[in-house]
Amino acid sequence: MAQVTVSNEQEEVSKDVKDNAVAKEDLIVEEQSGEIKKDDGPQTGEIAEEKKMDGEEREASLSTRVIVRSGTFKEESNLLSDLKEYEKAALIEMRLLLEDAIIANTLLFKDPEKPKTSEKQVEKNDKSSENGEKESQEGKEKGNSSVKEGKEEIPMNQTEEMGQKKNEWTEKEGKEEEKPKNQIESEKVEKQDGEEKGKISECNEKENNHVIVEERSGEIDKDISLWGVPLLPSKGETGTDVILLKFLRAREFLVNEAFEMLRNTLQWRKELKIDSILDEDFGADLNSAAYMSGVDREGHPVCYNVYGVFGNDEIYNRMFGTEERCEKFLRWRSQLVERGIQKLNFKPHGVSSLVQISDLKNTPGPARKELRLATKQAVGLLQDNYPELVARNIFINVPFWYYAFNALLSPFLTQRTRSKLVFARPAKVTETLLKYIAAEEIPVQYGGFRRENDSEFYNEYEVQEVTVKAGSIGTVEIPTPEVGNKMIWDLTVLGWEVNYGEEFVPEDKGSYTLIVQKGRKMGWQEGSIHNSFTNKEPGKVVLTIDNSGSFTKKRVLYRYKTKNI
């Protein structure tokens, strides 16, 4: 019965997702058709033919895509053998660009503060070239003065119609005829000296520039890395391709754009000293606004962001209001991502992305423009400098106004980013998280069983599930055949809105039933139940889930253990 119920629910969810997929597919087709209209030929015909697909073919095509998106997110393969041909070609080209840039020391943008020795040599070059120019200029001036002298003695019997060329020729003739031989020889020597000095200056400049190149080549950082992974492709580090593929995917495998994005990221990290950001302390207020906890079903580390912290006016005013505070907020966001990166494994078969969960409960509304602007800047910062590091971005406890806010923010996001977004209203938080994260990895406040420093349960205690039909009462029994045992259990109901109670029923019919927890109505705001009981006689603990007042079935997740004391 439980299996049938679960499959029915999956069909319902699949239907909702499929409807959303149809809307998205229509949007994609419209966008594609808008681009293809600029071209001519068979592409337009292909789009028209796609629009004429019958209902069954279209449904089959969409169902394939829905399967990928409705399940847990699986990262795209980073193995070269799994890449498409154009992806392989882009990766190889990216490697070559990166290798050349590192060897030529042009990967990072030029720092005006260094190298100082090079500046001195450039200064020296400028001086030497200036000296050569001055000397050659002096030779020219002397030559011009002699021309003037000769020009004065030329008889003015030529007409203006003879033109400028004849005058120049006449000036030159008069100059050479009137000048003594000694003066002509001295001018030739000066001219040769000026030319030789100019040539020497030019050679010195070339030689000094060569020295500068050699000097800069000595400063090449072949150990340059990103997120702990060496970037020089010739080192043969397998993680290098994983990093490069992230930038390529973020730019749709446009190599030049991806390479420029990588350069900008490295420059940004250098200028803001991101590599040392983990050592910074941003205060208790921000530390309580986010934390890392557990992994999803695919092993991605999960980061929880609690924006309700900023609903406190006092904290909000301390965090925002000035440019310096906003910069602190953005730097804190970078630190948070860097902490998550420490848990990643940039290997072809490794987990190289995170899951972000943003809790919007009690979040300040859109009137708080400082938080809205800072969040927008944070999204841009993460997109520009941490490409493809978020496998899934889940927003929970989403208020109605946030859907309008997301509609405004959505144009600033790439299609790839939008496809990773998941939204859950308050009543659907636990149910949504369970699609991607196991119950034992979800924090108790969100209906899971994960507690910090929990020494009672480990992964070997499997979570079990039972379905309670609408209008019926379900029970979970924990047997306690031995006296003096301590029974510990966790339980959660998806959606709650049930009456829940706990009692101990002894084996001896003459003994009294003990109430462990009095029955009470529990709503969807409740977290998971965690309780224990030590028996003084054989019997069983009975957990009652009364769903008689509901018209919908309920899924109950639980686990328990018996501990000898």
Number of domains in the chain: 5
Domain presence at residue 130: yes
Residues 504 and 554 in one domain: yes
Mean pLDDT value of segment 147-160:
41
What pLDDT does residue 80 have? 86
pLDDT of 26 higher than 50: no
Residues 178 and 228 in one domain: no
Instruction: List phi, psi (to 5°) of 110.
Output: -60, 130
The three-state secondary structure class of 264 is helix
Q: What is the pLDDT of residues 497-544, one digit of tens each?
A: 999 999 999 999 899 999 999 999 998 888 899 999 999 999 999 999
165 pLDDT tier (thresholds 50, 70, 90): very low
CATH number, domain at 232?
A: 1.10.8
Q: Which domain holds residue 46?
A: 1-70
Q: Which residue has the higher pLDDT, 456 or 489?
A: 489
Residues 135 and 253 in one domain: no
Residues 135 and 198 in one domain: yes
Q: What is the pLDDT of residues 228-244, one digit of tens each?
A: 999 999 999 999 999 99
Residues 316 and 388 in one domain: yes
pLDDT of 252 higher than 50: yes
Report the range of poorest mean pLDDT among 63-72, 273-282, 294-303, 371-380: 63-72
What pLDDT does residue 187 have? 53
How far from the centroid of its chain's Cα atoms is residue 84's Cα? 23
Q: What is the pLDDT of residues 181-227, one digit of tens each?
A: 455 455 554 555 555 445 445 544 444 444 344 344 446 778 899 99
The neighbouring-strand residues paired with 150 are none
Domain presence at residue 8: yes
Cβ(464)–Cβ(531) under 8 Å?
no
What pLDDT does residue 512 have? 94
Residues 1 and 34 in one domain: yes
Domain presence at residue 384: yes
What pLDDT does residue 337 have? 94
The three-state secondary structure class of 254 is coil
17 pLDDT tier (thresholds 50, 70, 90): very low
Residues 103 and 237 in one domain: yes
pLDDT of 363 higher than 50: yes
CATH number, domain at 555?
A: 2.60.120.680
Residues 337 and 429 in one domain: yes
Q: What is the DSSP letter of 48?
A: H
Cα gap 3→466, rounded to integer Å: 9
What pLDDT does residue 62 have? 30
What pLDDT does residue 286 have? 84
Residues 277 and 342 in one domain: yes
Domain presence at residue 301: yes
Residues 6+ apart with CB under 8 A from 391: 73, 75, 296, 298, 300, 353, 354, 355, 420
- End residue of a domain, out of 232, 252, 272: 272
Domain presence at residue 447: no
The rounded mean pLDDT for the chain is: 75
CATH number, domain at 422?
A: 3.40.525.10
pTM: predicted TM-score of the whole model, two decimal places: 0.67
Domain presence at residue 442: no
What pLDDT does residue 235 have? 93
Residues 288 and 402 in one domain: yes
Domain presence at residue 452: no
Q: What is the pLDDT of residues 299-314, one digit of tens each?
A: 999 999 998 998 888 8
Q: What is the pLDDT of residues 91-125, one digit of tens each?
A: 999 999 999 999 999 998 765 444 443 344 444 44
Residues 373 and 431 in one domain: yes
Q: What is the pLDDT of residues 440-471, one digit of tens each?
A: 999 999 999 999 888 888 767 889 999 999 99
Residues 265 and 128 in one domain: no
What pLDDT does residue 441 have? 94
Domain presence at residue 445: no
564 pLDDT tier (thresholds 50, 70, 90): confident
Cα gap 543→554, rounded to integer Å: 15
Cα angle for residues 535, 536, 540 (degrees, 5° grid): 40
